[in-house]
Structure formats: structure tokens, C-alpha cells
């Protein structure tokens, strides 16, 4: 399979829709720019609006491998970038013991032996013993990759600072081996749930995209792409209801993924028309707090 060519944002929209990702104009345009300018893209928005899905769909649509780095508190370089494979190094040393003593055999003094041994250092600090983590993988890859740095806001601020170098140069320095530069710069997509504000330095380097809850029409398109068999008329009513809930100011507003789940469960219950009781019964699929459910029942049902 080959990578489709992109000449305008519209092209991107089409290939994403083939992956069942319905992108709005703003999504396709910003993504298109990020790809063309080879700049990282920072995607923000509430949970469940399809931030991660965007990266996944993009990698499928462009037929590039997806490399994912899930961020969490305490994530450090050895988990994100690379690690030396100590066990393997030791195993090799054990097996090669004889060979090593052979090499050191004619050394008269201890310092001479050390000098000889250090000449062989390269053998043990080579790419063979390097355990690449997502960032290094993306750089080493011979083809373009889509690198998804998911929920960057969950990582510590220090990690964010560490990413800055990577994002601006697409290069990584390993002290023992030197600098690795990307064969082809990966398409980097960072996502954030706004758990904390990201630093200006990071934001500066990225294009910014905010994905909000979709408009009624767009959401309808999305749902119809995912669940084409659902009754169209009922869908209108259902989506209007969901949009109303979002405006109600509940603790956790239903996202697209929750609407999809909900409509799927309505389908499973074979609901044919707007049925207050069934709606109430299934509301827990849509809303994640009991207080929200009570609130919606009181106000909208």
C-alpha cells in the first residue's frame, strides 16, 4: 500500500473519512499544516472528543506506523527514549568471558589491562544493546511514522522540558553513541486533557488545535459513520437531547465516544421511538456521575 498524496486539506478529510474519522474543516486544515510544515501538533479538548483517535486514524489513512507514548506521572527518559539492556550486556560478558581474558592475557599491569579493556568498550555500548523506547523508535524508523504522545499533561513538567529538544530538532543524543537524527521526521501529535497548563515553550513549538464537542450535524455524521443502522429520525432526537445535556453544565458532559456507546446501547435495546423509560434506564451509559443523572432526569426528562 502506498501513501496517498496530500495537496490540500480537503484530501486529508477524504482519507480520514475512509478511516471512519469525520474531521471538521478546522481539524483537517490544522493537521494538514502540521504535516506540510513538519511541526508537532498539540491537540487539546475534553476527554472523549477523538484526540487520540485522530492520530490513530491518521496513521491508518497515511499508512504510516503509529508509535504511541502514553504519558504518566514519573515518566522519564529511560521509559520514553532509550535504555541500555543491562541483562543482555551481562549475558554477553558471561559468555565471552574466555575471549575477554584472552584479550587481556598479555597485559602486564592492571592499568594496561584496563586500557585494553576500554578499547573494547564500543562492543558493549553499541546499538545492539540499546533498547529503543517510543521516541528513539520514531527517530530510527526508516519510514515516516506517526508519533502519538498521549496525555502530555499527565507527565511531569521536567519531561515536558526534555521533549522540547526532541520536538524542535527531531534528534536525540545518547552520550555513548552520539546523536541520532531522524531519517524522516515523524508526524508528532501531542494530546492534552488540560489537567494542568502546559509551558509556553512547548506551546510555542507546536501548532495548536482545540477539539470541542461537535456541532449537531457533524456529530450526526460521525454517528452515522459508526452506526449506520440506527434510525435517522430517532437519531436527531437523541442527539438534540445530548446537546442539551452538554449545555446543562453537568459535571462530566457526554463526549462523542459516550454518545456512540449510548446510541449503540439504545440500538441493542431495539428502541424504535423516543421512550422515556428506556432513556432513563440507559442514562448511566451517557453520564458518569449519579448527581448528573439525577440532574438530567429532573431537568430534561
Report the interface residues with another protein, using CB under 8 A: 7-9, 25-26, 29-30, 33, 36-37, 39, 42, 44, 86-87, 90, 94, 156-157, 194, 196-197, 200, 203-204, 206-210
Please report the sign of the dihedral spanned by the C-alpha atoms of residue 14, residue 15, residue 21, residue 25. negative
Report, in Å, the least distance between residue 10 CB and another protein: 9
Report, in Å, the least distance between residue 169 CB and another protein: 15
User: Distance between CA 71 and CA 61 in Å, rounded?
Assistant: 24
Report, in Å, the least distance between residue 208 CB and another protein: 5
Of the two residues 77 and 156, which places its CB atom closer to another protein in the complex? Answer: 156
HEC secondary structure over 259-288: HHHHHHHHHHCCCCCCCHHHHHHHHHHHCC
User: Distance between CA 54 and CA 148 in Å, rounded?
Assistant: 10
Give, in degrees to the nearest 5, the angle at Cα 74 between 73 and 79. 115
DSSP 3-state of 27: helix
197: CB partners within 8 A, 6+ apart: none
Report, in Å, the least distance between residue 273 CB and another protein: 37
Of the two residues 72 and 274, which places its CB atom closer to another protein in the complex? Answer: 72
Report, in Å, the least distance between residue 268 CB and another protein: 32
Of the two residues 166 and 262, which places its CB atom closer to another protein in the complex? Answer: 166
Of the two residues 4 and 74, which places its CB atom closer to another protein in the complex? Answer: 74
Of the two residues 210 and 230, which places its CB atom closer to another protein in the complex? Answer: 210
Amino acid at each position: 500500500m502506498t501513501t496517498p498524496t496530500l495537496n490540500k486539506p480537503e484530501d486529508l478529510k477524504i482519507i480520514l473519512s475512509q478511516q471512519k474519522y469525520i474531521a471538521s474543516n478546522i481539524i483537517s486544515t490544522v493537521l494538514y499544516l502540521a504535516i506540510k510544515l513538519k511541526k508537532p501538533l498539540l491537540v487539546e479538548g475534553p476527554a472523549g472528543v477523538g484526540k487520540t483517535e485522530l492520530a490513530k486514524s491518521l496513521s491508518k489513512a497515511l499508512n504510516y506506523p503509529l508509535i504511541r507514548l502514553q504519558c504518566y506521572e514519573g515518566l522519564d527518559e529511560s521509559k520514553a527514549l532509550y535504555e541500555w539492556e543491562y541483562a543482555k550486556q551481562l549475558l554477553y560478558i558471561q559468555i565471552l568471558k574466555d575471549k575477554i581474558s584472552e584479550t587481556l592475557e598479555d597485559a602486564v599491569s592492571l592499568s594496561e589491562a584496563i586500557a585494553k579493556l576500554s578499547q573494547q568498550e564500543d562492543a558493549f555500548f553499541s546499538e545492539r544493546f540499546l533498547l529503543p523506547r517510543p521516541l528513539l523508535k520514531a527517530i530510527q524508523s526508516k519510514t515516516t511514522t506517526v508519533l502519538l504522545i498521549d496525555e502530555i499533561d499527565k507527565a511531569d513538567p521536567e519531561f515536558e522540558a526534555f521533549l522540547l529538544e526532541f520536538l524542535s530538532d527531531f534528534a536525540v543524543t545518547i552520550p555513548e553513541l552520539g546523536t541520532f537524527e531522524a531519517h524522516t521526521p515523524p508526524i508528532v501529535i501531542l494530546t492534552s486533557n488540560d489537567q494542568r497548563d502546559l509551558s509556553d515553550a512547548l506551546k510555542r513549538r507546536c501548532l495548536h488545535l482545540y477539539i470541542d464537542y461537535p456541532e449537531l450535524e457533524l456529530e450526526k455524521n460521525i454517528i452515522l459513520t459508526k452506526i449506520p443502522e440506527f434510525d435517522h429520525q430517532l437519531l436527531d432526537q437523541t442527539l438534540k437531547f445530548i446537546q442539551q445535556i452538554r449545555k446543562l453544565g453537568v459535571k462530566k458532559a457526554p463526549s462523542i465516544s459516550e454518545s456512540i456507546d449510548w446510541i449503540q446501547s439504545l440500538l441493542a435495546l431495539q428502541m424504535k421511538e423516543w421512550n422515556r423509560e428506556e432513556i432513563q434506564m440507559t442514562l448511566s451509559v451517557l453520564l458518569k456521575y449519579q448527581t448528573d443523572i439525577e440532574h438530567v432526569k429532573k431537568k430534561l426528562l
